[in-house]
């Protein structure tokens, strides 16, 4: 396995860079008629990767905004600055007393937590859902760093996701904003074999859960499919509306 590890690294980097076409921002729905949900893509992806979830939520009556963030070659802190500006732009078009929700896949969830920890506009967020987010850090990123410092320096988002670096982001939860996490346990992706504990093929379940969550649920999907499934979208809807994945 050790001899094959460099090959797996190459596959991982190639998969991360095979992103869908990038767009500045994608807005779905009427600003004045429905609640706004900001959707945040993960590492190496773009707004198009959140299109399925946006479609499901639009059918449920929400207006969605899919942001575009530099989550491959930039550190999480730099992507978080871009995100904060995108959120400010969205909020400018809404009444001052109107709140929004946020949903992030994978690293997108870390971006949301960074916003809720550091932005003065965090009070405008009333619910957040993290899907397959490595809240305690990514073991795969850790393994890549052990193999080559140059790789994680080049793909700087990965360096931010190493378990030893997550604490530097100073992510904390005030307890005022309900946060739920959805994890997958279908570890059928190639890189899942490199992980020791139960995982979704990219992220271990014990990295997704942390004590500050208001609700946590496990579904039978892998990392690449979980945010494209209608079942996941329904869980997101429930949490946004009730603060619980078991709500109606």
The pLDDT score that the predictor gives to residue 174 is 77
Q: What is the DSSP string of 168-203?
A: GG-----SSS-EEEEEE----SGGGGG-SSSBSSSS
On the CB side of 239, CA atoms within 13 Å amount to 28
The pLDDT score that the predictor gives to residue 169 is 97
pTM for this model (two decimals): 0.91
The pLDDT score that the predictor gives to residue 14 is 41
Contact 181, 208 (CB under 8 A): yes
Strands 63-67 and 25-28: antiparallel
Structural domain spans, the chain: 5-242
The pLDDT score that the predictor gives to residue 25 is 55
The pLDDT score that the predictor gives to residue 3 is 46
**Helices 76-92 and 107-118 meet at what angle, rounded to 10?**
70
Contact 41, 12 (CB under 8 A): no
The pLDDT score that the predictor gives to residue 8 is 53
- Neighbouring-strand partners of residue 140: none
CATH tag for 5-242 (out of 2.60.120.20, 3.30.70.141, 3.40.367.20, 3.40.50.1820): 3.40.50.1820
1 exposure class (CB count in 10 Å sphere: 0-12, 13-18, 19+) = exposed
Give the list of residues 6+ apart from residue 176 with CB closer than 8 angstroms, or none: 123
The pLDDT score that the predictor gives to residue 48 is 97
Mean pLDDT per 10-residue segment, the chain (248 residues): 50 48 53 81 97 97 97 97 97 95 98 97 97 97 87 91 96 91 96 93 97 97 98 98 88
């Amino acid at each position: 396995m050790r001899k094959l590890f460099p090959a797996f690294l190459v596959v991982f980097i190639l998969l991360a860079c095979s992103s869908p076409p990038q767009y500045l921002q994608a807005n779905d729905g009427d600003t004045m008629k429905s609640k706004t949900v900001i959707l945040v893509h993960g590492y190496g992806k773009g707004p198009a990767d959140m299109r399925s979830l946006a479609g499901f939520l639009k059918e449920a009556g929400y207006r969605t905004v899919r942001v575009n963030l530099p989550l491959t070659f930039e550190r999480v802190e730099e992507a978080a600055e871009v995100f904060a500006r995108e959120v400010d732009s969205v909020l400018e078009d809404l009444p001052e007393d109107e709140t929004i929700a946020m949903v992030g896949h994978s690293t997108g969830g870390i971006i949301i937590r960074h916003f809720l920890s550091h932005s003065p506009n965090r009070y405008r967020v009333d619910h957040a859902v993290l899907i397959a987010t490595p809240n305690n850090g990514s073991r795969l990123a850790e393994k890549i760093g052990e193999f080559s410092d140059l790789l994680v320096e080049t793909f700087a988002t990965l360096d931010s996701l190493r378990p030893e670096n997550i604490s530097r982001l100073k992510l904390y939860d005030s307890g005022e904003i309900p946060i739920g996490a959805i994890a997958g346990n279908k570890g059928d992706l190639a890189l899942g074999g490199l992980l020791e504990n139960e995982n979704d093929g990219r992220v271990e379940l014990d990295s997704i859960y942390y004590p500050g969550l208001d609700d946590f649920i496990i579904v039978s999907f892998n990392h690449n499919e979980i945010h494209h499934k209608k079942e996941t979208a329904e869980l997101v809807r429930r949490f946004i509306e009730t603060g619980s994945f078991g709500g109606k």
